[in-house]
Amino acid sequence: MTLATTAEEAFARYEAAFNEDRLIQDNWHEERDGRNLACALGVLGEEVDGPAACPADVMPRWLAKMVPWFFDRMEFDDARQWGLEFYAELKRLGGKVPFDVIYRWHADHVTTLAIEVSEERKRDPEPHRKLQSLHRRALAGDRAPVEEWRAILRDAGADAYADADADATRRARMTRLARGMVECLKAVLVLDAG
């Protein structure tokens, strides 16, 4: 199978793998019962063995890096459905995803979850609120200096929302974050060139 080169083709391949029950988690490609199985990125072509092999016309590299992280950490049925919605949005956008999507995702979903988890655990949510504010500023076009980003990111910590939780809770949170990414993609307006 040759490499998909457009977001429309990527959607068609994912949809076919979805309908033919050829999707797998935790492996790029696998042959089972005479069927070629692939993960959410692997459906793009046999040579796809990581985000770096994802064609830029399908999705930007920063987004391709997130796909296995989402897909492999959700319950399988949730992951399959998420992939269908994700690729449908890429098709709608023609693979052109503005970087502002990442700011929106962090502001509206990642930091929101981190704040909730901090509060549940009786920890100070303020570092996550500051990070949320920084992402909202960036989304509004006000890019803070690197030093400010580093200080706030250091205080907020990495993966603060996921540590020491049961597997089902982690998977549910990952599903929430993955669906949040799809919501952010849906928020991108496509201007009609005609």
Closest CA to 14 of 140, 6, 167, 166: 6
- Does residue 72 have a pLDDT over 90? yes
Tens of pLDDT, residue by residue over 124-161, are: 999 999 999 999 999 999 989 999 999 999 888 754 55
Domain residue ranges in the chain? 7-93, 100-163
pLDDT number for residue 75: 96
Q: What's the pLDDT score for residue 193?
A: 44
Which residues, other chains included, contact 94 with Cβ-Cβ below 8 Å and sequence gap of 6+?
A: 6, 7, 8, 190
| Region of poorest pLDDT, from 14-28, 151-165, 178-192 | 151-165
CA distance 114 to 144: 21
Q: Look up residue 163 and give its DSSP letter.
A: T
Residue 159's region, left for phi above 0, alpha for psi from -120 to 50, else beta, is left
* Tokens describing residue 164: 């020491």
Note the Cα 82 to chain centre separation in Å: 10
Q: State the Cα–Cα distance between residues 69 and 178, nearest whole angstrom.
A: 9
Task: Please state, in angstroms and as integers, the Cα–Cα distance from residue 95 to each residue in 11, 46, 107, 118, 132, following that order.
Answer: 10, 20, 22, 35, 27
Residue 165 in this model has a pLDDT that exceeds 90: no
